[in-house]
A and B are shown apart, each in its own frame.
Chain A
């Protein structure tokens, strides 16, 4: 079970990284289809950079901490899968805080390195689809 104190610890870690790289909160902790997730954002001139920190109790009973990051511009985006840490007990977040912060920091730096011409995925639209050849 992920307690509020665990989420508070992760918030502190993520906010330290956010402050270091000029990010602000995008979404507070919420359950995203099985994972607790909190996201931060930095809106640039051409791109928005987003970093998600998540903790999931897996079906095997382990706790997985994941950093997911990337950049977006309208319907175009690039996703970068950051590292994941596995904990036997969620209370380990306190003693492994430095490790978690390093993962979040690396994911944030990776997001900020994305250039507009590297947005490799697109959300399509029926109306924008090209006529058949």
Chain B
């Protein structure tokens, strides 16, 4: 079911950031995908293939992994460590609050990841102490998952 029509609704959070997150929540919900509570442990999250997440969860959308400037060239060949990623584009400073990041430096670069190139993806789950939606990459991501091949600047 798509967004309710006809009945005007009032939201107390009119920022574009919040609206973007709400639309992602609606997208997942309309596809029957449940966003797990933030206190769900990683082993309790459902694990899907990246292709399944791409087709069935995200409607052929991509995943985002914000990075510190210091990490600019750290993942150009992919990464085997575990990463959290999100569905939602945020301005550099609002990524910190929406994703409840522990370090407040605005994230001015983002990696765009193609889920189809990632073998296993867990989630989605609500971000603890934040309003964002996250997925978990237990095995990281290969180089070929980097859509642009390098980080994209974010304002």
Contacts and interface: CB of A to CB of B under 8 A. Distances in A.
Contact of A56 (B13, B25, B79, B103): B103
A20 interface: no
Given A59-B105, A78-B129, 14 more contacts: A29-B82, A30-B83, A32-B102, A33-B84, A33-B101, A34-B67, A54-B102, A59-B70, A79-B129, A123-B131, A126-B9, A129-B10, A130-B9, A133-B10
- Tell me whether chain B's interface is mostly helix, strand or loop, or mixed: loop
B38 interface: yes
A68 B104 CA distance: 12
Interface string A59-88: 101001010101010100111000000000
A13 B39 CA distance: 21
A25 interface: yes
A68 B25 CA distance: 25
Interface of A: 25-35, 37, 39, 41, 43, 48, 50, 52, 54, 56-59, 61, 64, 66, 68, 70, 72, 74, 77-79, 121, 123-127, 129-133
B54 interface: no
Contacts of A58: 68, 70, 103, 105
Contact of B39 (A26, A78, A121, A126): A26
Contact of B102 (A52, A59, A124): A52
B41 A26 contact: yes
Contacts of B81: 30-31
A70 B10 contact: no
Contacts of A37: 102
Q: How large is the interface on B (under 10, 10 to 19, 20 to 34, 35 or more residues)?
A: 35 or more
Interface string B1-18: 001100111111100001
Contacts of B82: 28-31
The 8 closest A-B pairs by CB, nearest first: A54-B102, A79-B129, A30-B82, A48-B39, A34-B68, A56-B103, A132-B8, A33-B66
Contacts of A133: 10
B65 interface: yes
A41 B66 CA distance: 25
B71 interface: yes
User: A25, A70, A123 — which one has the most chain B CB atoms within 10 A of its CB?
Assistant: A123
